[in-house]
Structure 1
Amino acid sequence: MSEVKKLNVRIKKLHDDAVIPQYARAMDAGFDLVAVDDVLIKPGETKKVPTGLAFALPEGFELQIRDRSGVASKTKLRVSNAPGTVDAGYRGEVSVIMDNISQLKQGIVAGEFVFIDGRDALGKEHDRGSYIIQKGDKVAQGVIAIVPIAQFEVVDELDETERGTGGFGSSGVRA
């Protein structure tokens, strides 16, 4: 069995309620990123969800921010720029940019306002299809990745490959 590679990543809590990232299970690639504030995201809106954390990644690494599969499969919330990149040189607060891809429905109603875990917020007025992310909700996952630095070389010709210049859909859509 191979030895697990470990990387020291320094983090700074910018908010008293910030949650130190943890891996849910052994061998998970991603660790949980947790909201530090309540955030309402109406249909069609994009909002930043603060984590209250700043990271000091070693040079040559990035923090990728990705959807949590449970959130993506059970809600209309998506990480907007997935995977988002936090560069090694950035020292500010890490936020998760989230989109509510629900279709805007006319009217304000009670009982269709949904928490990220699927519970309804009964008795509150809100736009249909809205979601509330509560402080303490796991909203995304972070993955630390190695980033090689490219050295670009301008050439007159590129080598030939089987694919060549075939672009989107060039391999067909059926197996």
Structure 2
Amino acid sequence: MTHLLHVQRLPHGADLPLPRYETAGAAGMDLIAANPADAPVVLAPMERKLVPTGLIIQLEKGFEAQVRPRSGLAFKHGVTVLNAPGTIDADYRGEVQVLLVNLSTEPFIITRGMRIAQMIVASVTMVELVEVVAVNHTPRAAGGFGSTGLN
């Protein structure tokens, strides 16, 4: 099923392409850096910065957009989305910006028009909290981080 996503281009992103699915089976659309052409964003090692996309999105109620790293940037350059996945709520109407961090030992330069992250639109399930005296137990119980082993 296809849903509509209303998108407003801001003046500093007017000449950039809209996000799109790069392949027929892609789950995410690539987000593009909308920094000025004469002002590349330089991410020093271990530095984090917000990178503008020049877009405002209007999600339908019951949906969110998740901003996730691009695997190629993460693997080849150590550049990733710091708060991955970043969540854009349905009622947010500000510019979509991507919080990038450089985990490598070399500076990384983000130029205008570079694909910097991917955005996935997903449905949201709202829940109602019900306080109980105790929750049901499972064989795993409180075992967490690494409790099921490596193999």
Q: Matches of 1:18 and 1:63 in 2, distance apart?
A: 20
C-alpha contact 1:18 1:51 (8 A) present in aligned 2? no
Identity, % of aligned pairs?
43
Q: Matches of 2:17 and 2:44 in 1, distance apart?
A: 25
Deviation readout 1:15-45 (Å, 9 max, x if unpaired): 3234311100112100110001121111111
Corresponding residue of 2:30? 32
**TM-score using structure 1 length:** 0.80
**TM-score using structure 2 length:** 0.92
1:160 to 132, 137, 147: 137
Gaps of 5+ in 1: 104-128
Q: Matches of 2:142 and 2:125 in 1, distance apart?
A: 25
Deviation readout 1:47-73 (Å, 9 max, x if unpaired): 011100000000111000011111111
Corresponding residue of 1:47? 49
Q: Matches of 2:143 and 2:18 in 1, distance apart?
A: 45
Q: Matches of 1:73 and 1:44 in 2, distance apart?
A: 15
C-alpha contact 1:51 1:96 (8 A) present in aligned 2? yes
**3-state SS of paired residue (1:90):** coil
Corresponding residue of 2:113? 136
Corresponding residue of 1:108? none
Corresponding residue of 2:18? 20
C-alpha contact 1:12 1:55 (8 A) present in aligned 2? yes
Structure showing greater radius of gyration is 1
| Count of equivalent residues | 145
Deviation readout 1:115-136 (Å, 9 max, x if unpaired): xxxxxxxxxxxxxx11110000
Corresponding residue of 1:10? 6
